[in-house]
């Protein structure tokens, strides 16, 4: 059995080891799960026992709750789970943990599926020429979860508690004192079963009762002090409608979902470490009841992604959107996967980033420059080159008409990519009037300045050498025009072009064929490395310069570029034709990342 995202042996051997790989390799060597059966679809112990031996050596899962858009932290989990399944010849299930009907929506379901596929993964497996989809949703297991709850009640492992929320909280105790038994804890299984069915049948209002596991109110692990496993919630579910008015708690539902799907290694972030004893307790009880078979899945935890200059709280990201601090979930400044994609990030760059940061149990911060560096490294060998002028001022070649003829345009060209000649060349025109960067001229140059100033010669890249003669300014002193003379016989690529030695080379766009473009200069959304640390108001550190809109000019070929196409604008960085607003005749480019880290200085 194999997933549809295979890797070669050389790629697999090149993967750096980590504690999760060591666990999986140990289990494979020990044949821990080799005798498990697979019923072809998720199901209980009897369902799987009727099937053949599981053809997948490992089963992992990516289980997001469909209550928001995925962010870069989820990307780490996606790459980890789907990548491990791929590398060990297994399968990764795509499962929606949709147990909370009030916050979930089909919009989020669709966006999550799109994000996983865009990152380069899928949830299919292939065996004997057949392809099987492993796309699941927890709400399809509500029937079994209810059976499991009744089995716990009948075995004396669960009870209905009708204390108020305040009393439950007070009686739970804390780290310095044990909890106090609920007055309802001594009910008989028959009483609890009848009351639980009243909950199911809608006879009790929201908050009137919960079903709790009966473990120990004196446990030093507060999560084992009779945790709630079902609550009443009269709310319509996007998948099951109004079938249920009681819903399982996540800590109860998640291990059951793993077991029904024959998951071998249930990988989650460190905040669930204290929940692992309940995970194991529940698996043991349901195996004892005969509902599940052995061996059960095991939970393993790794450190979540903490990225500087970024927040990943869904609540805070929603606040940014709802209060219009950003233009939406796909705003290129957002750390959402849709935002990163619109910014110009590639799936390969995000996978490279996740591989570089590794997998550990250590709590640490990853510098944002690591993410940017992965994008640069990915785009360097694939992005077509182009010249663009972001802060344009007119350059006039005053002797052009005399030397070249009035109205003459000189054809120039450059490689689409300097290291891939097979991609061909790009064409553009050099004429009397050109656009250059405003910062490429100084009346009085500072030390080390090799661009345009009166009397200095520079090369216009892929074009000719010119000698600066001066500039014009308006009444306010703003630069309006730079003037220069063409130095004859210096066109790039022609004999004698290098006879005149210059220290400065600047980029340009021809006024005759250059294309006006809106260029969005994106930067980090926050000016502080940890914008919400210590309970700070994260809005207070919003970077006022996170977006600048400029009207510039680009090479003529870019007018017909498709949305989503990436370029390296020479001297400026990597840019992408905006996925939403870019169109023929009205190009819009987003800066994905500069050519080097400007924040590290």
- In the numeric block, which tokens belong to residue 60? 């992992």
Q: How far is the C-alpha of 487 from the C-alpha of 468, rounded, in Å?
A: 10
Query: What value, to the nearest 5°, has the Cα angle with vertex 482 and ends 477 and 488?
Result: 165
Residue by residue, DSSP assigns 411-462 as EEEEESSTT-GGG-EEEEEE-SEEEEEGGGB-SSPPTT--SB-TT-EEEETT
- Our separate counts of H helices and E strands in the chain read 15, 28
Catalytic residue among 197, 314, 469, 571: 314
- The yes-or-no answer on residue 467 being catalytic is no
Q: How far is the C-alpha of 50 from the C-alpha of 44, rounded, in Å?
A: 10
How far from 591 is each of 339, 341, 569, 573, CA to CA, in Å?
Answer: 13, 12, 9, 7
Q: Which residues contact 456 (CB under 8 A, 6 or more apart)?
A: 445, 450, 467, 468, 504
Which among 123, 158, 150 is positioned nearest to 42, based on CA atoms? 123
Catalytic residue among 304, 385, 394, 571: 304
Catalytic residue among 21, 65, 233, 481: 65
Residue written as token pair 């009870």: 159
- Return the axis-axis angle of helices 347-357 and 368-380, rounded to nearest 10°: 130
- The yes-or-no answer on residue 425 being catalytic is no
The dihedral formed by the CA atoms of 103, 105, 108 and 110, expressed in degrees to the nearest 10: 160
DSSP letter at 188 equals -
Helices assigned H by DSSP within 509-597: none
- The yes-or-no answer on residue 31 being catalytic is no
Catalytic sites, residue numbers: 65, 304, 314
């Amino acid at each position: 059995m194999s997933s549809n995202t295979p890797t070669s042996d050389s790629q697999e051997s090149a993967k750096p080891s980590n504690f999760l790989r060591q666990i999986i390799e140990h289990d494979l060597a020990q044949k821990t799960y080799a005798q498990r059966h697979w019923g072809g679809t998720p199901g209980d112990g009897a369902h799987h026992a009727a099937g053949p031996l599981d053809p997948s050596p490992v089963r992992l899962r990516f289980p997001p709750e469909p209550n928001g858009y995925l962010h870069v932290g989820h990307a780490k989990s996606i790459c980890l789970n789907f990548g491990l399944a791929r590398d060990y010849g297994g399968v990764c299930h795509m499962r929606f943990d949709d147990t909370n009907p009030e916050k979930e929506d089909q919009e989020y379901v669709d966006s999550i599926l799109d994000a996983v596929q865009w990152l380069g993964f899928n949830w299919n497996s292939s065996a004997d020429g057949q392809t099987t989809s492993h796309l699941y949703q927890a709400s399809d297991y509500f029937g079994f979860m209810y059976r499991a709850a009744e089995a716990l009640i009948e075995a004396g492992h669960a009870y209905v508690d009708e204390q108020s929320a305040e009393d439950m909280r007070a009686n739970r105790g804390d780290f310095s004192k044990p909890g106090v038994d609920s007055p309802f804890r001594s009910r008989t299984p028959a009483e609890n079963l009848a009351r639980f069915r009243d909950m199911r049948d809608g006879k009790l209002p929201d908050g009137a009762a919960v079903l709790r596991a009966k473990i120990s109110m004196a446990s030093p692990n507060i999560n084992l002090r009779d945790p709630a496993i079902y609550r009443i919630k009269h709310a319509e579910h996007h998948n099951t409608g109004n079938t249920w008015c009681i819903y399982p708690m996540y800590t109860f539902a998640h291990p059951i979902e793993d077991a029904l799907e024959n998951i071998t290694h249930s990988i989650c972030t460190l905040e669930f470490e204290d929940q692992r004893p309940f995970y194991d307790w529940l698996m043991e009880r349901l195996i004892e009841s005969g509902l599940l078979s052995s061996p059960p899945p095991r939970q393993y935890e790794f450190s979540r992604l903490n990225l500087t200059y970024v927040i990943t709280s869904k609540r805070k990201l929603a606040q940014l959107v709802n209060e219009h601090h950003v233009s939406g979930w796909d705003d290129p400044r957002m750390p959402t996967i849709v935002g990163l994609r619109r910014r110009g990030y590639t799936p390969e760059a995000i996978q490279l980033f996740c591989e570089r940061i590794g997998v550990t149990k250590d709590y640490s911060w990853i510098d944002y420059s690591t993410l940017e560096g992965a994008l640069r490294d990915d785009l360097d060998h694939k992005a077509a080159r182009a010249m663009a002028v972001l802060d344009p001022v007119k350059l006039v070649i005053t002797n052009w008409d005399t030397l070249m003829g009035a109205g003459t345009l000189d054809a120039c060209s450059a490689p689409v990519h300097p290291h891939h000649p097979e991609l061909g060349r790009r064409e553009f025109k050099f004429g009397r009037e050109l656009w250059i960067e405003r910062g490429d001229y100084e009346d009085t140059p500072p030390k080390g300045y090799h661009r345009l100033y009166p009397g200095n010669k520079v090369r216009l890249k892929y074009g000719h050498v010119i000698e600066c003669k001066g500039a014009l300014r308006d009444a306010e002193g703003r630069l309006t025009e730079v003037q220069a003379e063409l130095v004859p016989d210096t066109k790039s690529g022609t004999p004698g072009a290098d006879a005149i030695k210059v220290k400065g080379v600047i980029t340009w766009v021809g006024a005759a064929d250059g294309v006006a473009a809106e260029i969005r200069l994106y930067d980090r959304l926050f000016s502080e490395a940890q914008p919400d640390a210590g309970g700070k108001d994260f809005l207070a550190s919003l970077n006022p310069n996170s977006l600048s809109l400029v009207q510039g000019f680009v090479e003529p070929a870019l007018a017909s570029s498709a949305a989503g196409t990436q370029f390296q604008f020479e001297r400026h960085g990597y840019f992408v034709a905006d996925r939403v607003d870019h169109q023929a005749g009205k190009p819009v480019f987003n800066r994905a990342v500069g050519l080097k880290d400007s924040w590290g200085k």
